Amino acid sequence: MALRTTYRRRALSMTSLIDVIFLLLLFFMLSSTFSRFADVELASTSAPGAGASDRALFLQVTPDSLRLNTDDLEIAALPARLADLLPDGNGKLLLSLSADVTSQRLTDVLVILRAQPNMTLSILAPS
């Protein structure tokens, strides 16, 4: 006659499970970012020349500087300079990016340009 061994079930310890859940929660809380990033809405232009006047500006963006037409300026001075050149906000702007411009730098410039009410924006991608 074969002897059958009986297995006794032990109660599951919840202490180690709670520790693992706490460590996962702590990891995800410390590794995530809670700051809100700026959303930039990109839309294509409608008809050529629609809503824009004859005034056209050229903005070159590099990682270290900005050049509006031929004037070097800082990013903080860009809104005032645009207000001087385009008092009513109507105009065309051609935005040229150098190859090593970061996406954060581009976003900072686009947020400033978006504040101009009726500006038509064209972006030249680096080659």
Distance between CA 45 and CA 107 in Å, rounded?
Answer: 19
pTM higher than 0.85: no
How far apart, in Å, do the first and last CA atoms of the chain sit? Answer: 85
Report the percent of the chain where pLDDT is more than 90: 6
Q: What angle do CA 95, 99, 100 make, to 5 degrees?
A: 110
Res 70 pLDDT > 80: yes
pLDDT-derived band at 109, boundaries 50, 70, 90: confident
Residue in the structure block whose two tokens are 């008092």? 87
What is the pLDDT averaged over residues 53-73? 83
